Amino acid sequence: MKNTLYKNPVLQTRIKKIQNLDVFDKAKVYMHYYITQLELKHNFEVVDTSKKDWQKGWSKPCKTFKQISFFYLWKDINIKTIDEFYSEQNIEIRDLGEDWKSKGFAQRFWVECFGAYDWFWKFESEFNLN
């Protein structure tokens, strides 16, 4: 991890808190993520094809059974493995270079978090961690 750009103490404590979770707490957070992603991946819309203009606004159905079409909206979602979910590569430092002021940006760099470093803070209240 590039500690030179982590000047924000709040961000440092958040990252440390996730990295210091024990195996069981990490499993709880990952299972929350995994189950939610599976729900999205296998969620579908049902459309009655017997109605007039049923294809308006719909693409090609994923499955069709008699007069019913099924559309899996998130079927191509990529679910991360637990190693990918907790990888430090999910912490990205975005640097705009020396001319950040002339480009009209508010700051030169910022930190983007993905995977566990993003998921944990969005749903922290749903986890029953010790």
Per-residue pLDDT tens listing for the chain (130 residues): 454 445 678 788 888 999 999 999 999 999 999 999 999 999 988 888 888 787 787 788 888 889 898 988 888 899 999 999 999 899 888 777 777 778 777 777 778 889 999 999 899 888 877 6
To 5 degrees, how large is the angle CA 127–CA 77–CA 2?
A: 65
Selection from 78, 80, 59 nearest residue 70 by Cα: 59
CB atoms within 10 A of CB 101: 11
Question: Which one-letter DSSP state was computed for residue 1?
Answer: -
What does the alpha-carbon distance between residue 61 and residue 16 come to, in Å, rounded to a whole number?
Answer: 45
